[in-house]
């Protein structure tokens, strides 16, 4: 069974994927305002006592490297050195992600190694014009969490025929990275407590009703605000 | 030739849950099947994955063991990549669904559930149930109200409820507040994948009695 949408050119899909991270960024900004309300009514006693609320911004910025070179070296020359650089950067983050999802340290360590082994084996599938290295590795770590830790199956969509292998367009890869970085900055600017909510929605199973409990906002308001934000964003995309 | 465009998509709640890996398996089958047919939702999925990637990037490192890299290299040396088995090019279902029901409509093990309607339940774990439904042209789905979320993906033919029309590739998402009676369009039978969060509650006495027996 094939895609039935009037077929969009694969390059157009790539372009739209890059554009969508802008959309998601606005979504996060909307979420921020959503959480701001929750904070004002629920968390924030500082405002009423006149104390300034310090927003701690993360100082570290995402690495400027796209990791493209490392992936090429791994794929073409089985470079252990290049893999080592990827490993040093990502393995501790994967372990952190798995532990935040409720996995104990020993299992998280073991699974982080398995995730990185998969990264090696699948290096040829990494396409920096569609996803950043972090995004791609996140999907592998997520799948590991589902199949190795939760013992569940993960149905994946059919692979798209991305057309004949094309020379890597550096500009496209950089463009994707820039959009991703902007989204990262928007997320990083969230006060810790609020960022945790977004994170928990991803790393743990946090439903809207749990977010409601945490922010003190009625569930209906949360749902309609998220929906409204996304509707507007989707509109602006077209 | 008529161009068939998908009008009803996977909503953001479901997409975020799918992307973050927090969706029950039965719903994930339907979402993956829809994405296989729908470029719009593929773009949406990749975009949701980006948020996951950024959150991963933001993690404060938790040290791995001093020998972790060597152990990983050992794993690489002893494991080999799992090559995905190529499916025959002509199959009746989107790939993620054919992993559960096989490749051909002809080999589905249908159970009749009355009025010409047939079902086949997928084997999935978790809180939700996925089933293929076969509804003869013009026939109504059994009258029911929902508890929890129900997601219906049209694979063949079409159906309509009181307000909207759902054709191949379209997804209908209903919640507990929905009380509707979808009817298969005239012409060919409607085949869809229906996922329910909780068992459907039938309002008619007959169905209420047999519901536990047929698991719909």
Q: For residue A40, what pLDDT is reported?
A: 32
| Nearest one of B189, B197, B205, B191 to B173, comparing CA atoms | B197
Tens of pLDDT, residues A54-105: 333 333 434 446 898 999 999 999 999 999 999 999 999 999 999 988 889 9
Chain A residues in contact with B18 by the CB 8 A cut-off are: none
For B145, the 3-state DSSP assignment is strand
Residue A236: what pLDDT? 43
- Which domains, ranges and CATH numbers included, belong to chain A? 67-155 (1.10.1740.10)
pLDDT of amino acid A118: 96
Rounded to the nearest angstrom, the gap between the alpha carbon of residue B119 and the centroid of all alpha carbons in its chain is 15
pLDDT at A188: 72
Which of A7, A96, A113 lies at the smallest CB-CB distance from B62?
A96
Determine the Cα–Cα distance for residues A220 and A209; give it in Å rounded to an integer: 9
Q: Is the pLDDT of residue B114 over 60?
A: yes
Confidence band (pLDDT; 50, 70, 90) for A2?
low
Q: Which residues of chain B make contact with A137, given a CB cutoff of 8 A?
A: 53, 56
From chain A, pick out residues whose CB is under 8 angstroms from the CB of B6: 4-5
pLDDT confidence of residue B197: 80
The whole-angstrom separation of Cα B58 and Cα A164 is 34
For residue A45, the distance in angstroms to the closest alpha carbon of chain B comes to: 28
Kindly indicate the confidence band of residue A202, based on its pLDDT and cuts at 50, 70 and 90: confident
Q: Is the pLDDT of residue B24 over 60?
A: yes
Q: Under a CB-based contact definition with an 8 Å cutoff, are residues A124 and A74 in contact?
A: no
At A35 the pLDDT is: 44
Give pLDDT, residue A152. Answer: 86
CB pairs under 8 A between A and B: 217
Q: Which residue has the tokens 């006592």?
A: A49
Which domains are delineated in chain B? 8-216 (2.60.120.10)
Q: What is the mean pLDDT of residues B131-142?
A: 90
Alpha helical stretches, state H, A79-191: 80-100, 105-121, 133-144, 170-188
| ipTM over cut 0.90 | no
Among candidates A6, A109, A155 on the partner chain, residue whose Cβ is nearest the Cβ of B65: A109
Give residue B77's pLDDT band: very low, low, confident or very high (50, 70, 90). very high
Cα–Cα dist B12/B31, whole Å: 11
| pLDDT at site A102 | 84
What is the per-residue pLDDT across A45-54, written as a single tens digit (0 to 9) for each? 333 333 333 3
The per-residue pLDDT for range A137-185, each reduced to its tens digit, is 999 999 999 988 888 889 999 887 766 666 677 777 787 777 777 777 7
Report the DSSP pairing between strands B129-135 and B111-112: unpaired
Digit-coded pLDDT (tens) for B150-171: 899 999 999 998 889 999 999 9
Task: Flag if A1 and B60 touch (Cβ within 8 Å).
Answer: no
**Contact between A96 and B53 using a beta-carbon 8 Å cutoff:** no
pLDDT of residue B69 exceeding 70: yes
Beta strand spans in chain B (E): 111-112, 118-121, 129-135, 144-145, 150-156, 159-160, 165-166, 171-174, 179-180, 183-184, 190-196, 201-202
Higher pLDDT, A65 or B28: B28
Taking contacts as CB-CB distances below 8 angstroms, the residues of chain A near B28 are 154-155
CA distance A174 to chain B (A): 15
Which has more confidence, A113 or B175? A113
Count the alpha carbons within 13 Å of A120 in the hemisphere toward its beta carbon.
28
Total number of residues shown for chain B: 216
On chain A, the residues whose CB falls within 8 A of the CB of B45 are: 157
């Amino acid at each position: 069974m094939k895609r039935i949408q009037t077929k969009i050119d694969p390059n157009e899909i790539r372009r739209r994927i890059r554009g969508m991270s802008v959309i998601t960024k606005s979504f996060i900004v909307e979420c921020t305002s959503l959480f701001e309300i929750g904070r004002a009514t629920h968390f924030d006693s500082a405002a009423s006592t006149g104390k300034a609320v310090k927003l701690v911004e993360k100082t570290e910025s995402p690495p400027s490297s796209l990791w493209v070179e490392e992936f090429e070296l791994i794929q073409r020359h089985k470079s252990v050195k290049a893999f080592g650089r990827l490993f040093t950067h990502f393995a501790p983050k994967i372990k952190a992600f798995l532990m935040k999802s409720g996995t104990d340290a020993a299992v998280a360590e073991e699974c982080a190694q398995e995730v990185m082994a998969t990264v090696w084996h699948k290096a040829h599938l990494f396409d920096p014009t569609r996803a950043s290295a972090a995004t791609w590795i996140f999907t592998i770590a997520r799948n590991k969490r589902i199949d190795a830790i939760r013992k569940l199956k993960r149905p994946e969509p059919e692979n798209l025929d991305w057309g004949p292998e094309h020379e890597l367009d550096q500009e496209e890869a950089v463009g994707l990275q820039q959009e991703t970085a902007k989204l990262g900055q928007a997320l990083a600017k969230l006060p810790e407590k609020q960022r945790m909510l977004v994170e928990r929605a991803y790393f743990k199973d946090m439903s809207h009703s749990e977010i409601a409990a945490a922010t003190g906002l009625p569930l209906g308001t949360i749902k309609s605000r998220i929906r409204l934000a996304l509707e507007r964003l989707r509109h602006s995309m077209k | 030739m008529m161009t068939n465009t998908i009008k009803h998509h996977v909503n953001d709640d479901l997409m975020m849950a799918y992307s973050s890996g927090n969706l029950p398996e039965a719903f994930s089958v339907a979402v993956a099947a829809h994405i296989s047919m729908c470029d719009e939702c593929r773009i949406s999925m990749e975009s949701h994955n980006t948020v996951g990637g950024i959150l991963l990037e933001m993690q404060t490192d938790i040290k791995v063991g001093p020998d972790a890299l060597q152990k990983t290299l050992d794993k690489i040396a002893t494991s080999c990549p799992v090559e995905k088995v190529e499916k025959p090019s002509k199959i009746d279902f989107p790939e993620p669904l054919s992993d559960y029901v096989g490749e051909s409509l002809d080999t589905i093990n249908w159970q009749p559930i009355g009025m010409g309607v047939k079902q086949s339940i997928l084997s999935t774990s978790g809180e939700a149930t996925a089933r293929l439904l076969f509804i003869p042209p013009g026939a109504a789905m059994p009258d029911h109200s929902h508890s929890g979320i129900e997601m219906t993906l049209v694979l063949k033919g079409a159906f309509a409820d009181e307000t909207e029309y759902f054709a191949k590739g379209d997804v209908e998402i209903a919640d507990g507040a929905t009380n509707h009676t979808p009817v298969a369009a005239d012409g060919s039978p409607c085949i869809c994948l229906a996922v329910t969060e909780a068992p459907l509650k039938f309002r008619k006495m007959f169905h209420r009695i047999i519901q536990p027996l047929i698991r719909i």
